[in-house]
Amino acid sequence: MKRWCLYFLMATLTLTGCNVNKEENSKTQPSSDKKVAETLGDGPDVLLTNLNAPWSIQKNGDTMYVSERTGTIVQWERNTMTRQKVKLKKTLSIKAEAGLLGFLLTPDFSNNRRAIAYYTYEEGGNSINRIVTLQKDNDTWQELETLIDGIPSGDFHHGGRIKIGPDDKLYATTGDARNPTIAQDLDSLGGKVLRMNLDGTIPKDNPIESSYVYSYGHRNPQGLAWDEAGQMYESEHGESAHDELNKIAPGMNYGWPEIEGDEQKPNMVNPFVHSGEKTWAPSGIAYFEGKLYIAALRGESLKSYDVQSGKMTDIITDSGRIRDVFVDEDFLYFISNNTDGRGNPDEKDDKLYRVPLSRLKGNMP
């Protein structure tokens, strides 16, 4: 049986200023790695097992929902697991990293039973990403309307995270589809953070007129979160290490493929923290009480980043690849992703876990 331990490993990080001027970046010296021999005591609760390449976590009341790349939604309600079919209008892609990715319950889900999904489909020999609405009818989800289509796809780098911001707008991360030049092309939807109304129309106050583009110059962003002041954070895969956490501002260029890490060019924004020569492969992120919680795939950990102190801590390190993290007032939830073709799954992978926030607060440095 696996032993679930909480290791506090202070990672060595390069902190950079997030500005677009030629000002000198403010940096802190890397701190020495430090292990604190503390544990969670009791291990994380395992709520679900045998998930198939899970991607997104959602919660409504006491009911949990997890999207699976294979085209299903898993519901966990009253300790009962139900795998529910999603009926899509297009042929779901089975390419690596593709499929049913982002999944989001609408704010009025309790009444209208509607959700939003980001998925990759195949048509005419091409892979394409789209964002649609879904209607839940008992144990089936049916695609209703298309909010946006034609998001570039390929073998890899789909992006795929969708979140509703504090301004009640829908945000989506899109990858460069392994065609880096499109990240700098404002006429392309690839390599961007997109912003739209919940009906799929373009908000009048978007930074680029008549465009969904909110920020650009992204490689493969997979996480979005906001703090209490409304600051948006984004996680992004670097090309070779140099994975990023960015503070997103409207209309700004985050540099890919022109710069990464500490490299600078005029009018391009550096990440406020990156992994240096290490690799995290960050996916979903969540913000709670001054900390960003980061699901790391290749880094095989759940990380916590203290926004004020700049300290990075590995809080879960023995669950393998981690795809998404979700925080409410009482608990932190995360999903492993060892069945995605790049992990080493055990006989019960993948899993949905739960950790009381009170236990984390008592052990965090």
What contacts 42, CB < 8 A, 6 or more positions away?
359
Token pair 């680029």: residue: 208
φ, ψ dihedrals at 182, nearest 5°: -70, -20
- Strand pairing category for 322-327 and 312-316: unpaired
Core vs surface per residue 57-76: b (16+ CB within 10 A) or e: bbbeeeebbbbbbbbbbbbb
- Using CB atoms within 10 Å of the CB of residue 355, give its burial: 0 to 12 exposed, 13 to 18 middle, 19+ buried: buried
Strand stretches in 37-175, DSSP E: 45-48, 54-60, 63-68, 72-77, 80-87, 91-92, 100-105, 114-123, 126-137, 140-152, 162-164, 170-173
Parallel, antiparallel, or unpaired for β 114-123 and 322-327? unpaired
Contacts of 5 (CB under 8 A, 6+ apart): 39, 40, 317, 318
- Please name the helix (run of DSSP H) or strand (run of DSSP E) that holds residue 313, with its range, or none: strand 312-316
The whole-angstrom separation of Cα 349 and Cα 314 is 21
Query: In Å, how far are 85, 121, 160, 170, 282 from 72, measured between CA atoms?
Result: 5, 14, 16, 22, 23
Length of the chain: 365
Question: Is 193 within 8 Å of 221 (Cβ atoms)?
Answer: yes
CA–CA gap between residue 266 and residue 21 (Å, rounded) = 6
Q: One of 157, 158, 218, 237 is an active-site residue; which one? A: 157
**Interatomic CA distance for residues 72 and 38, integer angstroms:** 38
CA triple 341-342-346, angle to 5 deg = 80
Look up 274 and say whether it is catalytic: no
Which residues are known catalytic residues? 157
